[in-house]
Amino acid sequence: MKLNIGCGYNRLDGYVNTDLNADTPADRIMPAHDLDFADGSAEEVKALQLIEHLGFFKAVYFLSECRRVLPPQGCLHIETPDIEKAFEIFLSGGAAQKEAVLGWIYGSETPGMNHLYCFPAGLLATLLEEAGFGITESSGFCFQEYRPALRLKAVKKNSRTADLASALRKSMLADAIPCFDDELAVSGQERVVRSLISCKNPGAALEQAVHSAEIAARYFALNPSGDGEDAGRKILCGRLGERNFQGFLMDELWERASNGTFTDKDFNSVLNAGVNIIRRLASGELKEVPFAPGRSSGKEAKIFSRAAAEDLCLKRWLRRSGKGQAMFSSGAE
């Protein structure tokens, strides 16, 4: 089976054509970052003028999904705007060139046709390598006049780390965990994914539950350590998730905040206390999770990170003080 993902109106014979838009002549309607195909079921994937429409984090998930559905040595073909050459044309061109290039950089205003994130060649190469691909061919071409593009061919390499990341992201998608509509949250979630798959020992991985118990639980469900203890670690993370561990930590930090802000010492104190709870539960020193579910700010917490905490505490203070009533009226507690 060959896949043409995000086909739009460019339907290719001999391929299963997919798109998110039901008005296209696609064979299957599905999001590019969450493919409804079995592991290793596709010998080739084409993504022609697609990834710039996804945004950064959905593009990361898309590459992860490509790895999952391809067999070893399976081929991924990508075409996307050459953003660096586009900038060069814009800076040196006249009015007509600038107009053409701007449409190439930002896409059109037709729903679904805007460009959310254009990838420089170096960044795209890095993301492909992290997803477990090796680039075998790379070239530039002119998609349309004054609209330069990149064309890459990448091959799936052997990588246990990339396989684990792909499986973890797919598990998260199945439970609708990724917060793609909240950049602070999804960036924090992606940092947890990357930290988990790079951890050298299960104890360090377990401590990532301080940032997201629900992601850590799904990680240990994949039995990454293989030491017979991952099922217990999954249960521990599940207990933390059920009690809204991230919400509890946010509430603890809020109590230390003044006018919606907190210090490095405040954040590190709560973070270390959370890690200590995890360690004591893992060792058996604590038999039960020693806190109730998050009380108020906790219901908003999907990730415990410095950036997410700063945003949440400030918004909560604005609501409480009435200074942000108009801005946050729909989310007032």
The last residue of a domain, from among 123, 158, 193? 158
In a domain, 109, yes or no: yes
Last residue of a domain, one of 158, 188, 213: 158
Q: How confident is the model at residue 280 (pLDDT cuts 50, 70, 90)?
A: very high
- The verdict on 132 and 180 lying in the same domain is no
pLDDT value of position 299: 56
Q: Which of 65, 10, 74 is nearest to 42 (CA)?
A: 74
Beta bridge partners of 216: none
Q: Are residues 8 and 102 in the same domain?
A: yes
Does residue 227 belong to any structural domain of this protein? Answer: yes
Mean pLDDT value across residues 44-59: 97
pLDDT surpasses 90 at 327:
no
pTM: 0.93
Give 112's pLDDT tier (boundaries 50, 70, 90). Answer: confident
The pLDDT value given to residue 329? 47
101 belongs to a structural domain: yes
Q: Is the pLDDT of residue 328 over 80?
A: no
Task: Tell me how many domains the chain contains.
Answer: 2
What's the pLDDT score for residue 322? Answer: 76
> Are residue 99 and residue 208 in the same domain, yes or no?
no
**pLDDT tens digits, residue range 138-190?**
999 999 999 999 999 999 999 999 999 999 999 999 999 999 999 999 999 99
Q: Is residue 125, in this structure, part of any structural domain at all?
A: yes
Say if residue 137 is in the same domain as residue 87: yes
CATH number of the domain enclosing 127: 3.40.50.150
Share of the chain above pLDDT 90, in %: 87
Q: Find the mean pLDDT for residues 213-224.
A: 97
**Are residues 144 and 16 located together in one domain of the fold?**
yes
Q: How far apart are CA 274 and CA 309, in angstroms?
A: 14
Reading the block at residue 170, the tokens are: 């797919």
Shared domain for 152 and 167, answered yes or no, is no
Mean confidence (pLDDT) of the chain: 93
* Separation between Cα atoms, residue 65 and residue 71, nearest integer Å: 12
What is the Cα–Cα distance from 19 to 7, expressed in whole angstroms? 6
Which has more confidence, 322 or 308?
308
In this predicted structure, what is the pLDDT of residue 296? 54
Q: Are residues 201 and 279 in the same domain?
A: yes
Categorize the per-residue pLDDT at 319 as very low, low, confident or very high, splitting at 50, 70 and 90. confident
Host H or E run for residue 28: strand 28-29
What pLDDT is stored for residue 184 in this prediction?
A: 93
Residues 174, 152 share a domain:
no
pLDDT-derived band at 332, boundaries 50, 70, 90: very low
User: Same structural domain for residues 45 and 191?
Assistant: no
Q: Are 240 and 220 in contact (CB under 8 A)?
A: no
Position 180 scores a pLDDT of 96
Residue 254 lies in a domain: yes
Claim to verify: residue 104 and residue 168 sit in the same structural domain: no
Q: Which is more confident, 109 or 163?
A: 163
State the residue range of the domain holding 220.
161-321
Domain end, chosen from 158, 190, 224, is at 158
State how beta strands 16-19 and 2-5 pair: parallel
Rounded (5°) CA angle 191-195-198: 140
The reply to whether 185 and 124 lie within a common domain is: no
- Considering the domain boundaries, does residue 331 fall inside one? no
107, 185: one domain: no
User: Is the residue at 332 inside a domain?
Assistant: no
SS (H, E, C) 57-109: HHHHHHHHHHHHHCCCCCEEEEEEECHHHHHHHHHHCCHHHHHHHHHHHHECC
What integer pLDDT is reported at residue 95 of this predicted model?
94
For 245-257, write each residue's pLDDT tens digit.
999 999 999 999 9
Residue 65 lies in a domain: yes
